[in-house]
Amino acid sequence: MINYTEKIPNNVDLGRDRVLQRALEHWQPAYLSWWYDMGPNESHNFEVYLRTATSVEPDGWAQFDYVKMPEYRWGIFLQPRDEKRQVNFGIHKGQPAWQDVPGEYRSILRRIIVTQGDTEPASVEQQKMLGLSCPSLYDLRNIFQVNVEEGRHLWAMVYLLHRYFGRDGREEAESLLARRSGDTDNPRILGAFNEPTPDWLAFYMFTFFTDRDGKFQLCALAESGFDPLARTCRFMLTEEAHHMFVGESGVSRIIQRTCDVMKENKIDAPADVRALGVIDLQTIQRYLNFHYSVTLDLYGSDVSSNAANYYTSGLKGRFRETKLEDDHTLRDAMYPVSEVVGNKINTKQVPALTALNERLRDDYIEEIQAGVNRWQRVIDEAGIAFRLTLPHKGFHREIGNFTGHFISTTGEILTEEQWKAHEFEWLPSPKDYSYVQSLMSGRVAELGKFANWIAPPVKGVNGQPLDFQYVRFN
Ligand code: BYC
């Protein structure tokens, strides 16, 4: 069970390690100061119907109650230790899983943890203003739930830094509160986390596409031979599932509403759809293209010696590593990656060890495609002839083999000029953004009401009705 009587809730017996406890209690006010500054705007007095973990078991989410977000019980929760767990891949395969950081991997492990940790506060910063334009109390509550849990994910990585990396770890933990999403001087580490999330369509796309990168990266880290990292990632994954639900259902409800309006009014042209205050499917496709391509970059280069090192040293595995049936060392295996040669995209086989980023990206794409198929069903059921598609893997990429090439959504290699001529057919234009923002000028806060551009959800949170007071504004 989680101990909530301590200043920092935890299930790691923090009280036994006074030095660590004091170090984290020192970091705690800095974290809160960051939250007051960079957390959801004007929300500090709101009472939000939030879930708080009561244990790390899958059903340990029993507790729902009104909480002021700055008083949320952020803490340190690791899945229980399995005494028999081993390193399951790489050159140390078969050794007992490490309970301490192996000296030779200290700096790369710290780097992985810092990169993971950096994304969590970044996403809160990106979503800071959205509460002011929420489409309903239900949605407002959901974004706040996502935000406090991203805050807790930061705690998870900061615990590892403090507990296992001494002074360097404490310095990294400070830096995690100092970088800012989109800042020119001190930006967040990874590209997608410096992009703005200007409106709710972008928020739902982000939680569908980018939080799912979170899932796949956490799954890979949950395989780590460094047991404390694996155990904390396992628990983080239970929180991540809700974020992806918010994204998938959010986009689905927007599509639903658009299709309903199109059907009712027998209209088809984007301008007619917009005239009725809903988001045309073409704009939804452009947002999809943007968030998908920017998120594909988060997997790193197609061929990466970093990724090979992470794997060989047993620090970061593949998706569902222990369920895969092979030698778990990948000594002789090969894997296909794409490359641009002249004006063609070729596939070539490379050592699988070096292609682990690409492999994780491919696993991700498969799951994303299934989600997009579910959105498509909403359109099909409305009898509307429109296809949502994933753009080509090489479209709008800035990391890996496609960097510097101008590839269309269907995979043709173009010149920069040709590509630019189509840019705003494929990606949201300033006009698209300003149209979407024009729909979201204020907060919809009446009980049970939803903005015109989104359908209500199928059901409320924790069995509550849709007209429940999910947020009290005080
Ligand atoms: N932007 O071999 P390469 C989440 C850098 S999301 C900027 O290509 P590697 C969440 C790279 O750092 C999950 N830079 O890549 C979601 C390296 O730099 P150095 C986050 C990039 O290292 C929503 C250089 O390029 N977790 O949790 O194999 C809400 C060459 O490296 C980018 C993780 O990512 C980029 N997109 O793989 C909240 C897991 N990509 O060494 C939360 C931890 C690469 O030249 N991170 N670079 O200075 C990793 O495993 C790896 O760092 C990466 C990159 C997969 C990100």
> pLDDT (tens digit, 9 = 90+) per residue, 140-151?
999 999 999 999
How far apart are the CA of 118 and the centre of ligand 1, in A? 10
Percentage of the chain surpassing pLDDT 70?
99
Kindly report, residue by residue over 269-315, the tens digit of the pLDDT: 999 999 999 999 999 999 999 999 999 999 999 999 999 999 999 99
Measured in Å, residue 355 CA sits from the centre of ligand 1 at 14
pLDDT band at 82; cut points 50, 70, 90: very high
DSSP-H helix ranges across 59-180: 106-126, 137-164, 166-178
Instruction: Please name the residue whose Cα sits nearest to atom 14 of ligand 1.
Output: 190
Instruction: Summarize the confidence of residues 213-234 as an average pLDDT.
Output: 98
Average pLDDT over residues 244-273: 98
- Predicted TM-score of the model (pTM): 0.97
How high is the pLDDT of residue 68?
A: 97
**pLDDT recorded at residue 108:** 96
Strand pairing report for 47-52 and 63-68: antiparallel
Q: Which of 235-244, 316-325, 396-405, 429-438 has the lowest mean pLDDT?
A: 235-244
Using CA atoms, how far apart are residues 442 and 438, in angstroms rounded to an integer? Answer: 9
Q: Which residues line ligand 1 (CB under 6 A)?
A: 112, 115-116, 119-120, 123, 150, 190-191, 210-211, 213-214, 217, 297-301, 304, 306-307, 316, 357, 399
pLDDT on residue 468: 98
Among all chains, which residue has been given the structure tokens 């004006």?
343
Mean pLDDT of the chain: 96
Backbone angles phi, psi at 245, to 5 degrees: -60, -45
C-alpha span between 86 and 361 (Å, rounded): 26
Render pLDDT for 399-456 as a digit per residue (tens, 0 to 9). Answer: 999 999 999 999 999 999 999 999 999 999 999 999 999 999 899 999 999 999 999 9
pLDDT at 1 over 70: no
